[in-house]
Amino acid sequence: MKYFVGIDVGATKIIFLLLANNKIIKKKKISTPRTKADFLAVVKENLGKEVSGVGIGVPALLNLKRKLVLNSPNLPYLNNCPLTQVVKGFLPQKTPVAMDNDANCFALAEACLGAGQNVKVVCGITLGSGIGAGIVLNRKIYHGAHGSGGEVGHMSIKFDGYQCSCGSFGCFEEYASEKFFQRRKISSRELEVKARAGNKKALQLFIDYGRYLGIGLANIVNVLDPEIIVLGGGTSKTSKFFMRSAQKECARRVISPLAKKYVRIKKAKLGESSGAVGAALLLINK
């Protein structure tokens, strides 16, 4: 039996898991180290030696041809790091190592083993401190011409408004990530407590959030025409309060009658393991 390590690198936590026959054998979660040296030490410590390959999901823009981390806003110590080559040095010779963007790994996992199984065109979106996304066509990640395919968080949904970290105004990420709630001095999970208690202002705020999310989802449907959009990330845990308004706004703006009728917007099935599972699948699903 072949065993593959999947690593999901996050800003605050790293998930390691061992996958065999598409099943999770072991799983470990640790806090993300604050220095590059500590980060690499932790990775080395948790790889194991008798494995068939290692896949890594990184929250960063990557040069996949050169196997280089270009820019990781939350983990700048990884910038310009040839991470796959470094990890290869921790393993027996010829053990394959693959790397991709963390949102791409999320989308791949949900397309192959989660909410998007048996679907040809899947868009996976992670809703958290920002918006990440991956596009999977026939169980293969679509990277685009320059490796940045799926960066939907930086499409503009307003002509004015708040300035994004990318320098533009009106980005989807500014209105449909956790930033929407932070500007109102609250988190989505704190707002959820109030919404569950029937607080009308909290319920309305979730509806407003869902509308912005729906605008972005409609743009994705109109451009990509996926069969399913899978929502993950921390903010998706409160989807009970915004999913209906997001679906309604999306449907209102979708052009194709067939897409309007048949596209599905669903919550992810694999939970916090999806990114690490997808990282392992980078090697299994070649």
Indicate the SS3 state at residue 102: helix
In the chain the first and final C-alpha atoms are separated, in Å, by 17
Domain ranges of the chain: 4-104+273-284, 117-268
pLDDT of residue 221: 97
> Would you say the CATH fold of 117-268 matches that of 4-104+273-284?
yes
> pLDDT grade, residue 28 (50/70/90)?
very high
CATH 3.40.830.10, applies to 4-104+273-284:
no
Tens-digit pLDDT profile for residues 215-227 = 999 999 999 999 9
> pLDDT grade, residue 213 (50/70/90)?
very high
Work out the angle between the directed axes of helices 274-284 and 102-113 (0-180°, nearest 10): 80
Q: Is the pLDDT of residue 204 over 90?
A: yes
Element holding 20 (H helix, E strand) = strand 13-20
Residue in 127, 9, 14 with CA at minimum distance from that of residue 69: 9
Q: Mark residue 170 as left, alpha or beta (left: phi above 0; alpha: psi -120 to 50; beta: remaining).
A: left
CATH number for 117-268 (one of 3.20.20.100, 3.30.420.40, 3.40.50.300, 3.40.50.620): it is 3.30.420.40
Tens-digit pLDDT profile for residues 124-136 = 999 998 999 999 9
| pTM: predicted TM-score of the whole model, two decimal places | 0.94
